[in-house]
Amino acid sequence: MRVVCAGDCGVDRYVNLGIDRPGGIALNFAANAREEFPASDEILVLTALGTDAESRMVRGAVARLGLSGAIVERAGATSIQYIDQLPSGEKRFLRYEAGVLGSFSIGEPERALVATADLLFMPVYRQIYPFFESITAAPCPGIRAVDFLDLSDVDTPAAFVAGIAAGIDIGFFGLQGSSLALIDDLERIARRHSRLFVVTLGADGSVVLGASHRVRCPALPVPRVVDTTGAGDSFAAAFLAEYCRSRDVARSQQRGAERAAMTIQSVGAFPWP
């Protein structure tokens, strides 16, 4: 199986800790997918990096994690997510600098890679929307999974999702349990387009929408929450690894919950020295 992770591979800059780590949604997903998918499966990243010191950190991480793929170099900066941590371990995103990824659109070599994917995973948010559009315009024979994050950067979340839903198979969302109206809207969209929408709710677990009834799964308790950065990315990787094997939604949610519980007990979405 070939898994292509298209999106932000960059640096997580922990302001409170004074450290940089390789991160970004696509890299976090790929690192966890490498652990969750069989060793015989290929895990590839598709991204654009700058020519700065941060790009060398990301390239080193891709090599260390045993990943491959298409990394396009452009003159400029690599994407950086500035993070602060609350005493509870909850992440607080301060700002995001997209760097060269913000204006990058894929070309024929990258389109050819997408055309070989059995599973294509990609995040979508305002700062990299041109890149996302170029990916979705590329033919892909496999499952298309999109991480919509928390939809906080769009004015009309339901309309935004509805405009994309017809071209994907699975959607992931990171919301709060109090987002009842939006969850109802997402359920209607999922059913209308016969799609699977997976909503993670932090400590409230997760719910899958799109079938005749909602499928719920509780979060797993952990001794101490250290850092919630990347919990949704690791959940998605584990969910899709199980789903691609079994098509069992409940088992996929459980595996996602287990992976997310591991992630939040240390800094970052995957182990790093």
Q: Count CA within 13 A, CB hemisphere, residue 59.
A: 14
Which pLDDT score, from 0 to 100, does residue 273 have? 86
Between CA 164 and CA 49 the distance in angstroms is 26
Q: What Å distances lie between residue 58 and 44, 61, 118, 152, 157, CA to CA?
A: 14, 5, 25, 27, 31
Between CA 215 and CA 219 the distance in angstroms is 13
Between CA 227 and CA 267 the distance in angstroms is 5
Q: Where do runs of H (alpha helix) occur along the chain?
A: 25-36, 53-64, 108-114, 129-136, 157-165, 180-193, 231-246, 249-263
273 residues of the chain, pLDDT tens digit each: 999 999 999 999 999 999 999 999 999 999 999 999 999 999 999 999 999 999 999 999 999 999 999 999 999 999 999 999 999 999 999 999 999 999 999 999 999 999 999 999 999 999 999 999 999 999 999 999 999 999 999 999 999 999 999 999 999 999 998 999 999 999 999 999 999 999 999 999 999 999 999 999 999 999 999 999 999 999 999 999 999 999 999 999 999 999 999 999 999 999 998
Q: Helices 231-246 and 25-36, interaxial angle, to 10°?
A: 40
What the chain holds in terms of domains, given with CATH numbers, is 2-263 (3.40.1190.20)
Q: What angle do CA 52, 120, 216 make, to 5 degrees?
A: 110
Between CA 153 and CA 255 the distance in angstroms is 29
H/E element, 199: strand 196-200
Q: Choose among 146, 172, 179: nearest CA to 235.
A: 172
Which pLDDT score, from 0 to 100, does residue 246 have? 97
Which pLDDT score, from 0 to 100, does residue 65 have? 96
Under 8 Å CB-to-CB from 263, ≥6 apart: which residues?
32, 230, 231, 234, 269, 270
Which pLDDT score, from 0 to 100, does residue 218 have? 97
